[in-house]
């Protein structure tokens, strides 16, 4: 039994009211909910490339981030490269962790759960026989991905587990990784 008398107000810095307002507004205007995200990538040298993320489309019009963000990708010395940035697969893992973590903060806020700290540790297993073309039965991508959360919050273990489950249910990157997507690559 909860003996606190005041209503618990969590502040995880997520503007849940705005998100719920957007949900309601967009359900009435499905066309505005159609977004297109973009990244542009330019080869630097060797296996080093730099992606820039700036514009995106949504709510019926073009938008820009506050500034253009650059993300370098490269490969470590073990791959005979200069290690100017994380590998693309590590960027994918960080994308998964960021998406799930954002979900944890939002869901916790919505459920009135105050977070003190959230850490996610992500590992992806890969057999290089795939990308090196040694064994056609081995896939290029991860054979398994594991995410371990360490969360300190004003809630029971079960409630925290429920927040993490819900964040997976609503995560874009989790869906992108666990389900197939048709990808069309063309050459201009």
Which residues sit at the interface with another protein, rule CB under 8 A? 30, 144-145, 158, 161-162, 165-166, 168-169, 174-175, 177-180
* Residue 162 Cβ vs another protein, minimum distance, rounded to whole Å: 5
**What is the distance between the terminal CA atoms of the chain, rounded to a whole angstrom?**
65
Is residue 73 a contact partner of residue 87, using CB atoms and an 8 Å limit?
A: yes
Burial (CB count within 10 angstroms: exposed 0-12, middle 13-18, buried 19+), residue 94: middle
The tokens describing 102, both together, are 């954002």
Residue with Cβ nearer another protein (134 or 161): 161
Q: How many residues does the chain have?
A: 188
* Residue 40 Cβ vs another protein, minimum distance, rounded to whole Å: 29
Place of tokens 């960021």: 98
Residue with Cβ nearer another protein (53 or 147): 147
* Residue 180 Cβ vs another protein, minimum distance, rounded to whole Å: 5
Residue with Cβ nearer another protein (119 or 169): 169
SS3 content of the chain, % helix, strand, coil (to 5): 35, 30, 40
49, 52, 58, 64 alpha-carbon torsion, rounded to 10° = 180
* Residue 54 Cβ vs another protein, minimum distance, rounded to whole Å: 31
* Residue 43 Cβ vs another protein, minimum distance, rounded to whole Å: 31
- DSSP H/E element including 115: strand 115-125
* Residue 106 Cβ vs another protein, minimum distance, rounded to whole Å: 16
Place of tokens 């990157």: 173
Residue with Cβ nearer another protein (26 or 53): 26
Residue with Cβ nearer another protein (27 or 67): 27
Residue with Cβ nearer another protein (17 or 175): 175
Place of tokens 């050459």: 187
């Amino acid at each position: 039994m909860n003996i606190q008398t005041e209503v618990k107000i969590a502040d995880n810095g997520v503007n849940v009211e705005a998100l719920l307002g957007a949900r309601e507004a967009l359900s009435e205007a499905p066309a505005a909910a159609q977004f297109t995200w973009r990244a542009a990538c330019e080869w630097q040298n060797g296996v080093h490339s730099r992606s820039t993320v700036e514009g995106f489309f949504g709510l019926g019009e073009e938008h820009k981030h506050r500034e253009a963000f650059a993300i370098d990708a490269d490969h470590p010395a073990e791959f005979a490269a200069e290690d100017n940035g994380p590998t693309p697969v590590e960027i994918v893992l960080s994308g998964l962790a960021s998406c799930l973590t954002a979900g944890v903060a939002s869901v916790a806020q919505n459920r009135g759960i105050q977070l003190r700290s959230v850490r996610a540790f992500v590992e992806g297993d890969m057999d290089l026989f795939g990308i090196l073309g040694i064994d056609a039965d081995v896939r290029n991508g991860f054979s398994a991905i594991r995410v371990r959360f360490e969360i300190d919050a004003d809630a029971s273990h079960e409630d925290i587990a429920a927040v993490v489950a819900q964040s997976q249910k609503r995560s874009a990157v989790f869906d992108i990784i666990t389900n197939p997507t048709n990808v069309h690559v063309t050459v201009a």
